[in-house]
């Protein structure tokens, strides 16, 4: 439990700092006094979630391979996997951003963007999509540092970029009068800082990155993609569900989209520890699996579920009480204010079940069952979202759509917990038989 809490706490500082700066960016944009601009950032963020999800999947694969090699005492293999993985990250993220860039307006229109929100969102993406490569490298370098058991330096990767963003956002948005474009430019700067700090920790301090080799990169493709592809597919499920929900909510107008954008920034700050927990527990499980300590793997899983549940209960109660403050901070008015208050009041149950899925995903990805992550995440994003959100919004408006998300997540969250214990039970049986 101590290892889980320490790793999660360190990762939380850096991760929540990113979410907090994203929140501040939207807060600054909302102070411009135009709901269309807030909606534009909301639409663009939903698109960026797809790129972020790909980066997360790649970083999961690198972390899993490096941690297993370290757990097995094979440092040369760990260094080779780190180098090959970073090469794969550059190639994949460059391809994705290049493919999405010319289609950004069409993609935003699919999400329901129109008018000024569409124009501003397209410009924002034109600036930020090309730096997806730096985001992927930074996240992967942080994953390598967590894999070797250095959560402090992994925290520095994201914390450094976040602090730079917090300092520069007001300057570019208000000081230079660049508005939303200023926020996008600062994003570029922060992504570059991610990579610089990450390379310093992983390469100079730990010397955990071998010299990249084309032969090694090609040879490691099966191992890397065997984890990365299911992990990417798994992580793409969340933005798919978010995109569908955004499209449904966009039918009710930009005031509703603005509320959805605000809560999309508030929730990761409030419940960001769950993301850090799922990212931190993977290397712990991977090392214990590499050392064939299956009993510890199961204990780590239980500890994670306990930590996640307790955290959600405490934060959900606090967020419910803080709803008026959130409304005031973003200068939300009318329908936007009402919806933000509603989302703050009823977000807890949604994140309780999402937290269960996050922890279960970490177990699936690091214990050799990545297809289960894909199954449960896509199940929630499709069967657990589309019919529930559609029905709820059609009969009870935006509030009904949000309650639909909760109902669908409950169904798959419970199933993911059961499956996670089935996986550890199967590993224990196989280990005993061997």
Instruction: Read off the pLDDT of residues 388-413 as tens digits, 9 standing for 90 and up.
Output: 999 999 999 999 999 999 999 999 99
Q: Where residue 428 falls among pLDDT bands split at 50, 70, 90? A: confident
H/E stretch holding 29: helix 2-30
The Cα 352–Cα 409 span in angstroms is 9
Model pLDDT, residue 103: 96
Of 224, 228, 162, 199, residue with least CA distance to 14: 162
Q: Kindly report the length of the chain.
A: 434
Give tens-digit pLDDT for 144-167.
998 888 878 988 888 888 888 889
Task: Look over the chain and give the mean of its residue pLDDT values, rounded to a whole number.
Answer: 88
SS3 120: helix
**Greatest mean pLDDT among 179-183, 230-234, 269-273, 370-374:** 179-183
Which sign, positive or negative, has the C-alpha torsion 154, 313, 285, 65?
A: negative
Q: pLDDT above 90 covers what percent of the chain?
A: 49
Contact 243, 48 (CB under 8 A): no
pLDDT at 137 over 90: yes
Give the per-residue pLDDT at 431: 66
Q: Is the model's pLDDT at 432 over the cut of 70?
A: no
Burial 158-176 (b: 16+ CB within 10 A, else e): bbbbbebbbebbbebbeee
Please tell me the predicted confidence (pLDDT) of residue 357.
92
In tens, the pLDDT along 40-97 reads 988 888 888 888 889 988 998 999 899 889 988 999 999 999 999 999 999 999 999 9
Query: Which pLDDT band holds residue 6 (cuts at 50, 70, 90)?
Result: confident
Task: Of 19-23, 96-100, 305-309, give the lowest mean pLDDT range.
Answer: 19-23
Q: How confident is the model at residue 14 (pLDDT cuts 50, 70, 90)?
A: low
Q: Say whether pLDDT at 209 is over 90.
A: yes
Confidence of residue 316 (pLDDT cuts 50, 70, 90): very high
Q: Which of 1-10, 111-120, 298-307, 358-367 has the lowest mean pLDDT?
A: 1-10
Closest listed residue to residue 282, CA positions, set 66, 78, 138: 66
pLDDT at 5: 76
More confident site: 137 or 291: 137
pLDDT tens digits, one per residue of 237-281: 888 888 899 889 999 988 898 898 899 889 888 988 888 787 777
How many of the other CB atoms lie within 10 Å of CB of 273? Answer: 22
Domain span at residue 178 reads: 2-433
Query: Residue 221 — φ and ψ, nearest 5°?
Result: -55, -50
Q: How high is the pLDDT of residue 433?
A: 55
Tally helices (H) and strands (E) across the chain.
Answer: 15, 0
Mean pLDDT of 214-243: 88
Of the candidate ranges 90-94, 98-102, 305-309, 388-392, the one whose mean pLDDT is the lowest = 305-309
Q: Which of 276, 275, 286 is nearest to 363 (CA)?
A: 286
Q: How many other C-beta atoms are found inside a 10 Å radius of the C-beta of residue 126?
A: 16
Indicate the pLDDT class of residue 9, thresholds 50, 70 and 90: confident
- Distances in Å between the Cα of 200 and the Cα atoms of 141, 145, 156, 206, 227 are 10, 11, 10, 9, 26
**How do the residues of the chain divide into helix, strand and coil, expressed in percent and rounded to 5?**
90, 0, 10
Inter-helix orientation angle 132-147/151-170, to 10°:
150
Higher-pLDDT residue of 193 and 282 is 193
Tokens representing 231? 């992990």
Q: Render pLDDT for 169-194 as a digit per residue (tens, 0 to 9).
A: 999 999 999 999 999 999 899 999 99
Domain count, the chain: 1
Give the chain's largest Cα–Cα span.
67
- In 10 A of CB 203, how many CB atoms? 18
């Amino acid at each position: 439990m101590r290892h889980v809490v320490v790793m999660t706490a360190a990762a939380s500082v850096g991760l929540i700092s990113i979410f907090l700066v994203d929140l501040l960016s939207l807060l600054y944009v909302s102070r411009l006094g135009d709901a269309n601009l807030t909606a534009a950032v909301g639409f663009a963020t939903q698109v960026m979630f797809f790129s972020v999800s790909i980066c997360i999947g790649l970083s999961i694969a690198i972390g899993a391979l490096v941690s297993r090699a370290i757990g097995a005492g094979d440092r040369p293999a760990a260094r080779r996997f780190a180098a090959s993985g970073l090469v794969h990250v550059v190639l994949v993220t460059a391809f994705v951003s290049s493919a999405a860039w010319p289609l950004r307006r069409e993609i935003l229109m699919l999400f329901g963007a129109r008018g000024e929100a569409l124009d501003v969102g397209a410009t924002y993406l034109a600036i930020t999509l090309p730096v997806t490569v730096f985001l992927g490298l930074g996240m992967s370098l942080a994953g390598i540092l967590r894999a070797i058991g250095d959560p402090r330096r992994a925290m520095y990767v994201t914390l450094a970029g976040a602090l730079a963003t917090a300092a520069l956002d007001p300057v570019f948005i208000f000081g230079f009068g660049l508005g939303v474009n200023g926020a996008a430019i600062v994003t570029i700067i922060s992504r570059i800082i991610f990579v610089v700090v990450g390379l310093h920790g992983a390469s100079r301090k730990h010397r955990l990155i071998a010299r990249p080799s084309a032969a090694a990169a090609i040879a490691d493709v099966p191992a890397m993609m065997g984890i990365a592809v299911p992990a990417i597919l798994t992580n793409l499920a969340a933005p798919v569900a978010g995109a569908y929900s955004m499209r449904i909510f966009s039918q009710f107008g930009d005031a509703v989209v603005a509320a959805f954008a605000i809560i999309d920034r508030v929730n990761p700050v409030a419940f960001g520890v769950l993301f850090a927990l799922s990212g931190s527990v993977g290397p712990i499980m991977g090392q214990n699996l590499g050392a064939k300590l299956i009993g510890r793997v199961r204990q780590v899983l239980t500890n994670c579920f306990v930590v996640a549940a307790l955290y959600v209960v405490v934060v959900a109660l606090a967020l419910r009480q803080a709803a008026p403050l959130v409304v005031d901070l973003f200068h939300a008015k009318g329908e936007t204010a009402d919806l933000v208050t509603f989302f703050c009041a009823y977000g807890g149950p949604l994140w309780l079940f999402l937290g269960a899925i996050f922890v279960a995903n970490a177990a699936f990805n690091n214990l050799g069952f990545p297809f289960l992550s894909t199954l449960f995440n896509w199940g929630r994003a499709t069967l657990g979202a589309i019919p529930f959100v559609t029905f709820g919004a059609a009969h009870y408006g935006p509030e009904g759509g949000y309650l639909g998300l909760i109902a669908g997540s409950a169904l798959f969250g419970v199933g993911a917990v059961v499956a996670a214990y089935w996986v550890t039970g199967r590993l224990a049986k196989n280990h005993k038989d061997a």
